[in-house]
Chain A
Amino acid sequence: MEGKVILSSSDGQVFEVDMKVAMISQTLSNMLKDTEDTGSETAPIKLANVSSRIFNLIIEYGKYHVEAQKSDTSEPTADLKKRVRELVADDKDTLFQLMIAANFLHIQSLLDLSYQIVAEDIAACKDQQMIRQKYNIENDYSPEEEEEVLKLHNIFE
């Protein structure tokens, strides 16, 4: 599929996106196919759940994704993950919104990478206290319960 598609973010900003980039989204792909089938006019497709800031990141990711498919990179996933990390710049809010947008647009590869990034961030924490601090999770264990869970953990260690 060649050409461009016009998309509009939730805050009204209009984007002209390469069809190849747009097609990484299953949602857009289906919408575009429907439009093609019905032969209706190509009015901007409104993405009510995606802000322009996040949509810019999605487009950047889409470009990387298309590039990675073309190139002979030995580890495309690792490369893409690095790129996504750069895009979100260690900002949890941005990562979260990116996940929401990827979920809405059905971009499975981006969703998987986002999950992987969160998993790695959790695994990088030294202990549970650090995880709680990082994600501001309250410890709702009673001292006795916590001791019991930790005891179990220590057995496995």
Chain B
Amino acid sequence: MASWRESDEEKEAYTNWLKLGIGTCREDGSNGDIKRKGKVMDAEEKGQGKEAYTNWLKALGIGPCREYGSNEDRHGKGKVMNADDAAPKGLYSWLTLRAESCVEDGSRKDAERNGESSHCTVRVRRSCGEDGSNKAVYFMEESMFIDLIPEDVLNIIFCKLPLHTLLQIKSVCTSWKMIISSSL
């Protein structure tokens, strides 16, 4: 995370993304733990870029896990990773949490609707499966198929399609359009 969000444009995009993430947490009501702590923060209020990101992780109970106590009750048998152990693990911990919150209330689509990239969603779901804890969640949804295919694999699949079909499927959704446009 050394060269964190260098340009203003990236910072803005990222801050928006953070806002969306927090919004979702509030909307779906699934992060009760966080609410109880009264630590739901607004990315805009708390600054941009790395600072906002750190605050947000804290708000989600990831950064200072030890301070707030374990998340084991929330994750059950899942392997809860602590951001203090290693930075990437903290992120994965968040991703796991995020994925759960998406799924719990059945509003999995919110994550995507609210602007998270499909790539992120892929990582989120993968992290669920990796620790072996949420495989049931991982495979229980009917709609997961295309969501879970990484963009590079989708690209390979699209390359096998005739041009006519490619032009047609551009209008399926914006992420498909982006993938197709970049490969044409």
Q: Check if A and B associate.
A: yes
B36 contacts chain A at the CB level, 8 A cutoff: no
A96 touching B148, Cβ below 8 Å: yes
Residue of A95, A96, A138, A149 near B171 (CB, 8 A) is: A149
Q: How far is the CA of A137 from the CA of B169 in the complex (A)?
A: 12
B136 contacts chain A at the CB level, 8 A cutoff: no
Q: A115-B160, A122-B157, A156-B164 are in contact. Are A93 and B145 (CB under 8 A)?
A: yes
Q: A96-B148, A138-B112 are in contact. Are A146 and B171 (CB under 8 A)?
A: yes
A89 contacts chain B at the CB level, 8 A cutoff: no
Q: A122-B165, A141-B173, A153-B167 are in contact. Are A115 and B143 (CB under 8 A)?
A: no
A92 contacts chain B at the CB level, 8 A cutoff: yes
B172 touching A139, Cβ below 8 Å: yes
A69 contacts chain B at the CB level, 8 A cutoff: no
Nearest Cβ in chain B — how far from A85, in angstroms?
15
Q: How far is the CA of A135 from the CA of B118 in the complex (A)?
A: 14
Q: How far is the CA of A140 from the CA of B174 in the complex (A)?
A: 6
B148 touching A119, Cβ below 8 Å: no
A-contact bits for B156-171, CB 8 A (1 contact / 0 none): 1110111011011111
B143 touching A153, Cβ below 8 Å: no
B146 touching A135, Cβ below 8 Å: yes
Contact partners of B153 in chain A: CB under 8 A: 99, 115
The number of residues on chain A lying at the interface, defined by a beta carbon within 8 Å of a beta carbon of chain B, is 31
Q: How far is the CA of A86 from the CA of B33 in the complex (A)?
A: 46
B173 touching A127, Cβ below 8 Å: no
The number of residues on chain B lying at the interface, defined by a beta carbon within 8 Å of a beta carbon of chain A, is 31
Q: How far is the CA of A57 from the CA of B177 in the complex (A)?
A: 34
B113 contacts chain A at the CB level, 8 A cutoff: yes
Residue of B nearest to A130 (CB): B172
B173 touching A139, Cβ below 8 Å: yes
B66 contacts chain A at the CB level, 8 A cutoff: no
Contact partners of B174 in chain A: CB under 8 A: 140-141, 145
> Can you give 15 contacting A-B residue pairs, CB < 8 Å?
A93-B144, A97-B139, A99-B153, A115-B160, A116-B160, A118-B149, A119-B158, A131-B172, A135-B145, A136-B142, A141-B173, A146-B171, A149-B177, A150-B171, A153-B168
**Known contacts A118-B157, A139-B172; 20 further A-B pairs (Cβ under 8 A):** A92-B142, A92-B145, A93-B144, A93-B145, A99-B153, A122-B165, A128-B169, A128-B171, A131-B169, A135-B145, A137-B173, A137-B176, A139-B173, A140-B173, A141-B171, A149-B177, A153-B168, A156-B164, A157-B164, A157-B167
What is A's interface to B at a CB cutoff of 8 Å?
92-93, 95-97, 99, 115-116, 118-119, 122-123, 127-128, 131-132, 135-141, 145-146, 149-150, 152-153, 156-157
What is B's interface to A at a CB cutoff of 8 Å?
109, 112-113, 139, 142-146, 148-149, 153, 156-158, 160-162, 164-165, 167-177
